[in-house]
Amino acid sequence: MSSINEFYSKEKKESYYETLVKELSSLNKELNAFSTINESINSGYPFSAKDNICVKGFESTASSRILAGYKPAFSATSINKLLSKDFGFLGKTVMDEFGFGSFGVNCETPARNPFNPEYVAGGSSSGAAVAASIMKYHLAIAESTGGSISTPAAFCGVVGFTPTYGTVSRYGLIDYANSLDKIGIISRYAEDIREAFSVIRGEDPLDSTSVGKVPEEKRKDKIIILKEAMEHAEEKVRSSFAGLIGKLENMGYRVEEKSFEPISKAVSIYYIISMAEASTNLAKYTGFKYGYQGEDFTKGYNAFFTEARNKFGEETKRRIILGTFVRGTSVKSKYYGKALRARALIIDGMNKLLGDGYILTPTMPITTPKFTEVKELTPLQSYASDILTIPPNLCGFPHISFPYDYVGGMPLGAQLVSSHFNDNAVIGFAEQWEKQFEYKFRYNLGSL
């Protein structure tokens, strides 16, 4: 039985939500998963929304100071769909500003890893993954552009599902990069994700890129391991992943190694495209119509504009500068145009590989780092850690990250990818996995 059905079937004390809010508020002081907790929740299966997903009447800032105080007058389609079924809104989760990051540190109050608060929670959906990990019954609605669901799910020991591009409406999402953004789900179990996905997916007249095609479930018995992906993984990850492969073979899967050299270009392609799109999306936050507004209207245009734009964090400013550069007239064909063509080649190559089976890789090439370790990384080193989560995101393929081992007390995640619209097959794979592998959690808030 899924946790959702279990939750509905159990008797709940009248004070259930009050106690949950109290316990969560207290743990949140340590872990910082939520930027807002909805104290008036009083019914439904509790769910949270990443802070870049609009919820009517609740501050939605994409964890950016430039949007401080912004309370949308409408909710995202995915949120409305959940509210129209029996789901209850519990709060907004912390993230890397506008989704820019892999470790959750690019914001004012970074979420901490529930397994050990000295470690990062992953990013950019840091708070969403922590929320799913600490509560017995919870769905975290999150978003991925280039791995922001898989990465924190892997670091926090939960399941993270990123659907085929377009299957879930993006209406009400504060955009990062429109050709890459997907709203997805982080939860403890794939079984719950299946149910929630069936609620939030579907064509939406408010999002012209949304599709109504019913996701398939074409199960495959072959798993492809990418040679180049394994070469990028650190030794601890590689040896633990070898154990997972053995278990999958025992479950009846045929495992085959293949080479896919273009994967080593995926990070450059992704960062050129995503930054180009992000820099145009961020152009609207000038303090005139959107974003922080100064009080002093006697200031000159430049001073007013600069004051507002100074609210952006360091990583956001870096992306505006680089993204504006790569689409500049004199270099556009050298960077942006070339990246688009290379993206098409990656999509084509991966599509061919997937015709044959699923692709499986470790979710991250590294084990979960500590905050002190992340501080030492250069931006390029940080971008490079996305090497395994970027390829399916560049292609819009459905993928799922699931916990498969614990090393030094910290969880490790693996990521399974399938072809477009085979969403329910990747969910089905993780369901089969979690039937015979017991996930570990450190907290169980809200248990019944």
Is 160 one of the binding residues for ligand GLN (CB under 6 A)? no
From the CB of 364, what's the least distance to ligand GLN, in Å? 11
Q: Active site includes 144?
A: no
From the CB of 100, what's the least distance to ligand GLN, in Å? 5
Contacts made by residues 67-71, CB under 8 angstroms, sequence distance 24+: 67/174, 67/285, 67/291, 67/292, 68/292, 68/311
Binding mask of the shown chain, residues 385 to 424, with x at each position contacting ligand GLN by CB under 6 A: -x--------------------------------------
List binders of ligand GLN among 368-387 (CB under 6 A).
Answer: 386
Rounded to whole angstroms, how far apart are CA atoms 64 and 427?
A: 32
Nearer Cβ to ligand GLN (146/357):
146
Task: Find the helix or strand (DSSP H, E) in which 89 lies.
Answer: strand 87-93
Residue span binding ligand GLN (CB under 6 A) among the ranges 99-107, 183-191, 370-378, 434-442: 99-107
Task: Find the helix or strand (DSSP H, E) in which 23 lies.
Answer: helix 16-31
- Whole-Å CA distances, 181 to 116, 266, 355, 368, 392: 30, 16, 24, 24, 12
Among 28, 63, 64, 144, binds ligand GLN (CB under 6 A): 144
Among 46, 91, 99, 446, binds ligand GLN (CB under 6 A): 99
Other beta carbons within 10 Å of 14: 7
Rounded to whole angstroms, how far apart are CA atoms 386 and 245?
A: 22
Q: Active site includes 29?
A: no
Query: In this structure, is the dihedral angle defined by the CA atoms of residues 300, 301, 306 and 312, taken in order, positive or negative?
Result: positive
From the CB of 369, what's the least distance to ligand GLN, in Å? 14
Rounded to whole angstroms, how far apart are CA atoms 362 and 41?
A: 37
136 in Cβ contact with 439 (< 8 Å): no
Is 277 one of the binding residues for ligand GLN (CB under 6 A)? no
Rounded to whole angstroms, how far apart are CA atoms 256 and 273?
A: 31
Is 102 one of the binding residues for ligand GLN (CB under 6 A)? yes
From the CB of 390, what's the least distance to ligand GLN, in Å? 7
Is 124 one of the binding residues for ligand GLN (CB under 6 A)? yes
At a CB cut-off of 8 Å and minimum separation 6, what does 61 contact? 35, 51, 67, 68, 69, 70
Q: Of these residues, 3, 35, 48, 50, which one is catalytic? A: 50
Nearer Cβ to ligand GLN (99/287):
99
Among 147, 160, 172, 362, binds ligand GLN (CB under 6 A): 147
Nearer Cβ to ligand GLN (50/220):
50
166 in Cβ contact with 204 (< 8 Å): no
Rounded to whole angstroms, how far apart are CA atoms 334 and 312?
A: 28
Q: Active site includes 71?
A: no
From the CB of 259, what's the least distance to ligand GLN, in Å? 25
Residues carrying an active site annotation: 50, 124, 148
Q: Please report, as ranges, the residues that interact with ligand GLN according to CB under 6 A.
A: 99-102, 124, 144-148, 176, 274, 386
